[in-house]
Every structure is written in structure tokens, then in C-alpha cells.
């Protein structure tokens, strides 16, 4: 009988191939991945190992820091004294006593007049003091890695937000008063709202009210034709609305983490319609919503089947003219990669580049970075490996967690406790029209860009060769949004450090989506904008924000003026499609890919 082990060196033994070591290895990998995928169903995709490692890092260093413990104890005693003093002030001065702590400017939970009345002023101030104490306890512990510190602070904040007095009937004066006035009927309606939402989630139906915003009927209605189709994209060419158009077409690359029609919502707030009305020929990529069969599509496929295929089609319809390329969010990151590769290879088909809330350096990519490490990504990859993609609910849950007060708890209070439905808008309906992410692409994106920052640090390869954004010579118009939790504007601003071309940077009010959908005529919009030439000295983001001129209104006209300055004199509109080159009108916009659930 042969030995199950064979000698391979003087000091080591390895399993014999005769005993199926490869099979054991494969079985072990499948077993591990399957276990992790099952655990992920109960943890919303968060790795328990990553959380435990962060907690242990914090706890061990805290236990080894008696000085920090004394500081925390001293702060705890001070806050207890503060609460006692506040109770005494309330007893003697009533509701006229000054608060001992005020919420942060972005915290709107306790700003109402009812919260300033006793005993609710004491309740919320005590809660804020406890939040402040936990912040002190979870930060500033010497030796803890920056990421682990941020993760522990984030998790503790999420847990505290769960028990906020604003979330409970008896400790929320506004909710309590509302319930008394309505005899509790608001709670009855809220229960009905909850049950209706639950049934829709279980049955896979869309949110209540979204039926008023049907794609192709109410939104994404700008006239156009699908002129190209492959396994990953449909390319839409929009019909001109002016007698003359700029000779250079506009090619828009949206993110495949979202459906393209955020840029073609209702007619009054459609960026596509605005561009065509301003005399531009517009082409739009509509990405396929991937299924398990697309699991092995990677970043290379998205670049070649997406941007490069669309450029080829656009060049066939409008020959001998470079394009104004526009990339939104992840689409902007991919556009930057494609543009760098084209510049390296001498491909001059891009006339200008516009980046909308897009990142090219990921060192300051916001709180998403707290959960980007090898442990978390391995866990996430195992979850995607089993199903072939990142599910829509898993992705949506991550973004909701980043703004839980705005997107989770305020929704629960308003819809299920006040019993009031917020009117559905086209942007809300679009936000609920979720997409998936292929296993391979999402893994490459998170590892090569978020985790390793290969693009900014000069390691990202396209077709076997490194690409550098500094090779780009086309002028860049970059837009950041002031309240962006997905692509923080200071991160988007780093395009100044990575390129050697003219950069116009615009910072607009609003968030990642609402800041980009900034149609003219709406009140409350404002922005700052300033240009830098390739020979100007660098200005840091804080100095830029302090000196860039402020303007009111939508940023769209500012951008269109910039595009016009980069364009030639108007000419007759191009034909729809290019039949001689094989690009036939295949059907009306919005096409079929955008309708896939």
C-alpha cells in the first residue's frame, strides 16, 4: 500500500497527488466560501472577522492605556455632573435653561420646539452627552489603526442611533403630541404602511407610489433610438431638438451601480433633454443589469464593451469629430482609465472630459473605506462568488447604513410612527430601481481601486501596460457635491494632483444624486467654480473652497458654457445611426436593458 505522503525535500512532506490533494483543496475552498456566504445573509455582508479584529485592536490598546481610561472616567464623571446641573437648572428655571450641549449642525433630530420642553430637553441632552462620551472612548486610543478606530466609532454610533430618544413614542415629544391629537390613528396607519411595504419587499414589488414613474412613460422619455447593442450595453442616440448642433457629440457614461435615467428623469429635470435643447448631439450608455451568467465580466470588459464600443459607434455616426466624454460616479472612474489608456496609445478621439461626482484617488473615499480591507473584501467576494453578483438589497443596505439617520430612522419615524407617506418623486423612484454588480468586476474594482489605489499610485494596467492620468491632455470639468457620502468632494478634487491638464472644478450644493440633478429654475441651488491651467500652482481643497466664487442657481448652464467654449461652430445634426457602418436604429429609447429587474 503506497504511503499517503511522499518526500519532496530534506525537511518537508506534502500530500501525494495520488490522494487527490487538489480535490481536497477545491473542496475546502468551496466549503469556506459557502459558509461565509451563508453567514453574510445574516450580517448584511459585513465580515464578523473584520469587526472582531477592529474591536480587539481597540480593546487591547485601551486596556494597555490606563491614562486613556482615566481620561474616559474623568469625562464620564464630568458629564454626569453636567446632567445633574442641567436637572437643577430645569427645576428652577424651567424651559428657559440653556442647553448644556447642542446637536451637530447635520443632526436635525432634536431641533423642534417640543424638544426644548422639560423633560425632553433633559432626555435628548443626556443622550447627546452619552454619544460624546462614546466618541471619546472609541477615538484617540494610541496604537489603534486608523481604519479600526474609524470602524469602532462608526459601529458604536450606529448602535447609539438605534436607541436615540427620537425613535421611541414615549421619549419623542413631537411623535407623542401627534399621537394624542390623532387618537393613535397615526400608529394604525403606520402599521398599515409597514405591512404594505413588507408585502412589497417579500413579493419583489417596487415602492408605493413608484408606479407613477414608469420608465419610458414618465421618466426616460427624451426621444431617441438605440443604435448599438452588445451583451453589456445599449447605446442610445437622442434626437436633436435644434436646427443646428455642436459638431462634437456628447457621450455620457453613467455608473452601472445605477440605471442611466437619473440623467434623464422627468422632462423638467432631465440633463439629457437640457443638453439637446442647448444644441448638443447626445449619446448615452445604458448598462445591462447583470445576472449570474455575467459573473466573470471584469473591469476590462466594462471598458472594452462599454466605453470603447460606444466610442466606436459614436465615431461612426459623427465621423472625424472628437467627443465630449462625460462620466458619472463609477462611470467617471472608468472613463478616466479609458482616457488615460487612449492618451498613452495616441488615440485622440476625446475632446474634453467631464467627471460628475467621480473619484480617481481613493485614499479619502469617505466612510465606505472603513470596511475596505482584505478581511472584509474576502468575505464579500465569497458572498458574491456563491450568487455570481452583488445583490441589489445588499448594495442598497450599505449606502443606507452610511446615512442611517436620514435614510433609515427618519423613514421609520415618518412612515411607520407618524403614519405619513412622503410623496414619491422621480428621483426617489429611480433610487429604488436597483441594479446588481458582477462578481469579478466588483471584486477588481474594490481591490485594485479602493483597497490598493492602483490608479492613483501608478500600478493600474490596461492591456498589459501601466496607465497614468497625467498622460491626459484633454481639458477636464470635474463636479463635486458638498454632501456626497459616496464620492466626497475632497476626494474628487484630487484630480488636480493626478493630471497635467486644464481642470475646472465645480462644487455644488446637494448630495451624490440630488446635487447632480440640479435643473435650472429650482430655488436653493448654489455652487462654486474655479479653473486651473496646467501651469498653475496647486491649491489645496480648503483654500479653494475659501476663495472660489459663489454663484446661485443650477450649475448646468455653467457647464454648458464650458462645453460650448470647447466646441466648434454649430452644424447640421447628424443622422440617427450609421447604417453603412452597421449601426442601425434598433428600437426606441429607453431600450430594453434599463427595463431589466
The secondary element (H helix, E strand) that includes residue 51 is: helix 48-63
Q: d(Cα 268, Cα 34) in Å, to the nearest integer?
A: 48
Contact (Cβ atoms closer than 8 angstroms) between residue 331 and residue 256: yes
Q: d(Cα 516, Cα 531) in Å, to the nearest integer?
A: 19
Question: Which residue in 520, 593, 518 sits closest to 215, CA to CA?
Answer: 593
Residue found by looking up cell 493600474 in the block = 460
Question: Which residue in 351, 364, 347 sits closest to 467, CA to CA?
Answer: 347
Q: d(Cα 529, Cα 509) in Å, to the nearest integer?
A: 12
Any residues with CB less than 8 A from the CB of 336 and at least 6 apart, and which?
327, 353, 355, 358, 360, 455, 469, 472
Contact (Cβ atoms closer than 8 angstroms) between residue 245 and residue 421: no
**CA-CA-CA-CA torsion for 192, 397, 405, 373, nearest 10 degrees?**
160
Q: d(Cα 467, Cα 18) in Å, to the nearest integer?
A: 45
- For residue 220, with 0-12 CB atoms within 10 Å meaning exposed, 13-18 middle and 19 or more buried, which class applies? buried
Question: DSSP per residue over 170-184, as a string?
Answer: TT-HHHHHHHHHTTT
- Fill in the DSSP letter of residue 578: B
Which is catalytic among the residues 271, 329, 413, 437?
329
Burial 342-363 (b: 16+ CB within 10 A, else e): bbbeeeebbbbbbbbbbbbbbe
The secondary element (H helix, E strand) that includes residue 415 is: none
Query: 57: which 3 cell numbers?
Result: 485592536
The residues pairing with 350 across neighbouring beta strands, listed in sequence order, are 323
Q: d(Cα 116, Cα 102) in Å, to the nearest integer?
A: 11
Distance of CA 332 to the CA centre of its chain: 12
Q: Is 100 a catalytic residue?
A: no
Q: Which residues are catalytic?
A: 329
Amino acid at each position: 500500500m503506497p504511503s499517503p505522503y511522499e518526500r519532496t525535500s530534506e525537511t518537508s512532506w506534502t500530500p501525494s497527488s495520488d490522494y487527490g490533494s487538489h480535490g481536497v483543496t477545491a473542496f475546502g475552498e468551496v466549503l469556506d466560501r459557502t459558509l461565509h456566504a451563508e453567514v453574510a445573509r445574516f450580517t448584511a455582508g459585513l465580515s464578523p472577522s473584520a469587526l472582531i479584529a477592529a474591536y480587539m485592536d481597540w480593546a487591547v490598546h485601551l486596556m494597555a492605556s490606563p491614562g486613556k481610561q482615566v481620561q474616559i472616567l474623568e469625562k464620564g464623571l464630568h458629564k454626569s455632573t453636567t446632567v445633574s446641573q442641567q436637572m437643577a437648572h430645569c427645576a428652577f428655571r424651567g424651559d428657559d435653561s440653556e442647553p448644556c450641549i447642542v446637536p451637530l449642525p447635520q443632526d436635525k433630530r432634536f431641533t423642534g420646539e417640543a424638544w426644548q420642553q422639560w423633560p425632553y430637553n433633559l432626555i435628548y441632552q443626556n443622550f447627546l452627552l452619552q454619544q460624546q462620551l462614546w466618541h471619546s472612548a472609541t477615538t484617540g486610543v494610541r496604537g489603534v489603526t486608523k481604519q479600526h478606530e474609524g470602524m469602532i466609532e462608526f459601529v458604536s454610533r450606529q448602535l447609539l442611533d438605534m436607541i436615540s430618544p427620537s425613535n421611541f413614542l414615549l421619549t419623542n415629544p413631537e411623535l407623542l403630541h401627534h399621537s394624542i391629537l390623532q387618537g393613535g390613528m397615526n400608529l394604525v396607519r403606520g402599521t398599515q404602511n409597514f405591512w404594505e411595504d413588507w408585502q412589497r419587499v417579500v413579493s419583489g414589488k417596487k415602492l408605493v407610489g413608484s408606479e407613477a414613474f414608469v420608465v419610458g412613460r414618465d421618466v426616460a422619455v427624451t426621444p431617441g433610438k438605440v443604435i448599438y447593442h452588445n451583451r453589456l450595453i445599449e447605446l442610445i442616440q437622442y434626437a436633436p431638438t435644434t436646427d443646428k448642433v455642436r459638431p462634437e457629440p456628447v457621450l455620457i457614461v453613467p455608473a452601472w451601480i445605477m440605471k442611466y435615467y437619473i440623467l434623464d428623469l422627468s422632462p423638467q429635470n432631465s440633463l439629457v433633454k437640457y443638453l439637446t435643447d442647448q444644441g448638443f448631439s447626445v449619446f448615452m450608455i445604458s448598462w445591462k443589469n447583470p445576472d449570474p451568467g455575467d459573473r466573470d465580466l471584469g473591469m476590462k470588459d466594462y471598458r472594452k464593451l462599454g466605453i470603447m464600443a460606444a466610442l466606436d459607434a459614436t465615431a461612426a455616426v459623427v465621423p472625424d469629430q472628437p467627443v465630449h466624454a462625460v462620466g458619472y460616479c463609477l462611470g467617471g472612474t472608468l472613463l478616466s482609465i479609458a482616457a488615460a489608456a487612449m492618451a498613452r496609445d495616441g488615440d485622440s478621439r476625446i475632446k474634453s472630459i467631464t467627471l460628475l461626482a467621480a473619484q480617481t484617488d481613493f485614499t479619502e473615499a469617505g466612510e465606505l473605506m472603513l470596511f475596505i480591507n482584505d478581511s472584509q473584501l474576502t468575505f464579500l467576494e465569497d458572498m458574491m462568488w456563491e450568487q455570481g453578483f452583488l445583490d441589489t438589497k445588499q448594495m442598497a443596505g450599505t449606502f443606507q447604513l452610511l446615512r442611517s439617520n436620514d435614510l433609515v430612522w427618519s423613514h421609520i419615524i415618518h412612515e411607520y410612527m407618524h403614519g405619513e407617506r412622503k410623496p414619491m418623486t422621480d428621483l426617489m423612484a429611480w433610487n429604488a430601481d436597483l441594479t446588481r454588480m458582477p462578481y469579478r468586476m466588483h471584486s477588481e474594482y474594490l481591490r485594485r481601486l479602493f483597497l490598493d489605489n492602483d490608479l492613483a499610485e501608478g500600478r493600474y494596467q490596461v492591456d498589459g501596460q501601466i496607465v497614468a492620468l497625467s498622460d491626459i491632455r484633454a481639458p477636464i470639468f470635474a463636479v463635486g457635491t458638498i454632501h456626497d457620502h459616496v464620492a466626497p468632494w475632497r476626494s474628487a478634487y484630487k484630480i488636480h494632483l493626478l493630471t497635467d491638464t486644464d481642470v475646472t472644478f465645480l462644487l455644488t450644493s446637494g448630495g451624490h444624486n440630488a446635487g447632480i440633478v440640479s435643473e435650472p429654475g429650482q430655488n436653493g441651488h448654489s455652487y462654486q467654480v474655479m479653473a486651473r491651467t496646467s501651469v498653475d500652482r496647486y491649491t489645496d481643497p480648503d483654500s479653494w473652497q475659501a476663495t472660489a466664487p459663489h454663484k446661485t442657481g443650477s450649475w448646468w448652464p455653467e457647464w454648458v458654457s464650458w462645453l460650448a467654449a470647447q466646441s466648434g461652430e454649430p452644424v447640421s445634426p447628424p443622422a440617427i445611426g450609421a447604417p453603412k457602418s452597421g449601426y442601425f436604429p434598433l428600437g426606441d429609447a429607453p431600450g430594453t436593458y434599463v427595463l431589466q429587474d
